[in-house]
Structure 1
């Protein structure tokens, strides 16, 4: 399966990733263009989870600031 996601490949800049079928936590995510190894799927997934949590925290701070002004 190929999916267009961020982050870009550090080797070629391509955004398409190849997620091969396999057992959970036992396969790696690769760049669809140059075959760069992003590491294990669970590690790759954790990077996205961290980014989402960081974005949610920023949104909560922004909402709190707006509530203080209104």
Structure 2
């Protein structure tokens, strides 16, 4: 499976990743263009979880600020 995501590949700048089928926590995510190894899937997933939590927190603060004004 290929998915277009960030971060960009540090080697070639490509954003498409290859998620090969495999057992949970036993396979690596690779760049679809140059085969750069981003590391284990669980580590890669944790990076995105952190980014999503930060974004949700920012959106919550913005919604709270909008409610206070309205």
- Using structure 1 for the length normalisation, give the TM-score: 0.94
- Using structure 2 for the length normalisation, give the TM-score: 0.94
Aligned length: 70
Write the deviation string for residues 11-65 of structure 1: whole angstroms up to 9, x where unpaired.
1110111111111000000001111110000011111111111000000000111
Q: Quote the residue 1:43 is aligned against.
A: 43
For structure 2, the residue ranges without an aligned partner over 5 or more in a row are: none
For structure 1, the residue ranges without an aligned partner over 5 or more in a row are: none
In the TM superposition, 1:1-70 aligns within 5 A as 1-70=1-70
